[in-house]
Every structure is written in C-alpha cells, then in structure tokens.
Amino acid sequence: MNTSYNNTLKMLAFFTVALSIFALGGCANTPRITLSPSDEPPSHDYLIGPGDAINIIVWHNPEVSMSVPVRPDGKITTPLVEDLPAMGKTSTHLARDIEKALAIYIQDPIVTVIVTNFVGPYTEQIRVIGEAATPQALSYKNGMSLMDVLIAVGGVTDYAAGNKASVIRKIDGKLQHIAVRLEDLIQDADLSTNIPMRPGDVLVIPESFF
C-alpha cells in the first residue's frame, strides 16, 4: 500500500515537472551555460520530507521514544504531540520543536531526532526525466555528481541524445539550462562533464531523432 502510494506520488511529481518545463516559453531558445566539476556546491544540511522515517529519542522517557513516518502532509504524530510540522526542517530543528511541545507534559525534555529513511522534500530532490533507463526522483546527498545520478537511474536508453542533455537549475532566482554531455561521460569517461548536482536540479535527457 505504502509502496504503491509512494510510486503514485513520484509519477505525479514527474508529470508536474515535465509540464512546468514545457510551459517555460522559449525554452528551446534559452542559452545553455556550462559548468566545470570544480564548481562545487556549498555543504547542504539534510531537510526532512514526506516519506522519511524518523527515530525520536526522548532521554529518560522511553514511553514516548519511537520511530514515526513523516506523513504526506509533512507532519508527524506521537502520543503526546499531534500534527507537528516536520517537512523542511533539519533533524536538530525538529528535535527542538518536539522539546517545546513535550515541555507541557515532561519537565525539561531532551530530544534527539535521527532520520532513518531518506526521501526529502520534493523541492530538494533531483528529478531525472526523458530517456533515462529508469526516470525517477532521487534524494539529494552532499557531494552528489552527475555521474552518481546516472548510476542511480541505470544510465540512458538507446534512444537518448545524451550530448544534448541539460540540467535545469535555479540560479539567482532564474531557471538556467546547464549543458551536459552524457555520451562523453558514459562512453568516453570524460570527467570534465561530471558536474556537481544541487538540490532541486532537473536532468532532462532528450530523445535522438536520427
């Protein structure tokens, strides 16, 4: 049931991203910029999202320590805390919020939150659409590169125009198309095109028509 529901959410996310891309008037005429592997992104704290599983540990209070899922609406529920927003928060931020909520019932609660299943918010995920072997949304990880994404999706199909692929990324509030050469990376091991990925990136792999 949960697997089917999660797959449905992912498919809806793919369609939403695809429609938004086609809705960007003049996308085909948008200049494509290039990046090098040296353009490293800053360190990124993991943010909790729907589908994550989190382990809540309340020191000296095992009766309220437990593992709970983050609901599709981004909230969690425990025996003493109902409908607490978790989406978009770090584990430390959520722990402090739980402490405030529990302080009504427990004197000076000390809470630790550990994420045990990583999905992350949709806005933080990397989406791969088009001629990938298995198009999907991936959880972003610090240091993630284009090659890591290709490995996760099983590479590209025989119909992919890999050297015409692009990464759509928001830079300074504007969507930019970053040119990437997937064929060179996969077939020739040309690491000069192995750019670092960032949260929210969309890798678009077009189909070859010849």
Please determine, looking at this structure, whether the domain spanning 2-44+122-205 carries the CATH number 3.10.560.10. yes
Residue range(s) in the chain whose domain bears CATH number 3.10.560.10: 2-44+122-205
Whether residue 120 is predicted with pLDDT greater than 80 in this model: the reply is: yes
Whether residue 93 is predicted with pLDDT greater than 90 in this model: the reply is: yes
Selected residue with higher pLDDT from 122 and 96: 96
- pLDDT, residue 24, reads 39
Whether residue 198 is predicted with pLDDT greater than 80 in this model: the reply is: yes
Selected residue with higher pLDDT from 120 and 24: 120
Percent of the chain with pLDDT over 90: 70
Q: Check residue 137 and report its DSSP letter.
A: E
CA angle 54, 76, 69 (to 5 degrees): 40
CA angle 114, 135, 133 (to 5 degrees): 120
Name 196's bridge partners.
145
How far apart are the C-alpha atoms of 125 and 187, rounded to whole Å?
26
How far apart are the C-alpha atoms of 38 and 46, rounded to whole Å?
22
- pLDDT, residue 28, reads 45
Torsion of CA 66, 125, 157, 177, to 10 degrees: -170
- pLDDT, residue 173, reads 87
Percent of the chain with pLDDT over 70: 80
- pLDDT tens, residue by residue, 14-57: 444 444 444 433 344 555 676 656 565 667 889 999 999 999 99
CATH architecture of 53-117: 2-Layer Sandwich (3.30)
Name 145's bridge partners.
196
Residue range(s) in the chain whose domain bears CATH number 3.30.1950.10: 53-117
State the average pLDDT over residues 60-85: 95
